[in-house]
Amino acid sequence: MENLFIETLIGQVRALDQFGTWTNRTDKDILEEKYVKSKEDLKNIPVIADIDEMQIQDIRLIYQAIALAFEKQTGVMCSTIMEMSHEGFGRAVVIADKIVILNKFFKDAHRFSFRTYEDLVKEGDKLLDNALKIYDEYKK
């Protein structure tokens, strides 16, 4: 597997595949389908639109993957809290002990995506690294 973030993310995505739809597909293909959109794809998505439950779940999986990867690295349990309005405005928070290790606000979440698979990997690694730094700075 490439890295801890991608490993935890794809593990969660595959766990939700109750009917084996993605069994014969590669991890990269699945993640690209869920999270990668080109500029052309984004042009076809209206600026003002409602977000559906599947998109909310896909976004939540990113932050749950950060929490799980953090737990695997540190042994400290995390909680992921995410609230999203039907209009795509919301917030995701990951808490370890009493410390907020990740805090992300959303607007236009129905357009949430990455341009490339590599961007997804980089962003996940960056979020995880920042979470570890914040925790190390504020833990007792």
CATH class of 1-11+50-140: mainly alpha
What is the full DSSP assignment across the chain? ---HHHHHHHHHHHHT-TT-TTTTS-HHHHHHHHHB--HHHHHTS-SS-PPPHHHHHHHHHHHHHHHHHHHHHH---EEEEEEE-TTS-EEEEEEETTEEEEEEEESSGGG--BSSHHHHHHHHHHHHHHHHHHHHHH--
**For residue range 75-110, what is the model confidence (pLDDT) as tens digits?**
999 999 999 998 889 999 999 999 999 999 998 888
Domain boundaries, the chain: 1-11+50-140
pLDDT band, very low/low/confident/very high, at 45 (cuts 50, 70, 90): confident
Q: Residue 72: is its pLDDT beyond 70?
A: yes
**For residue range 122-133, what is the model confidence (pLDDT) as tens digits?**
999 999 999 999
pTM: 0.92
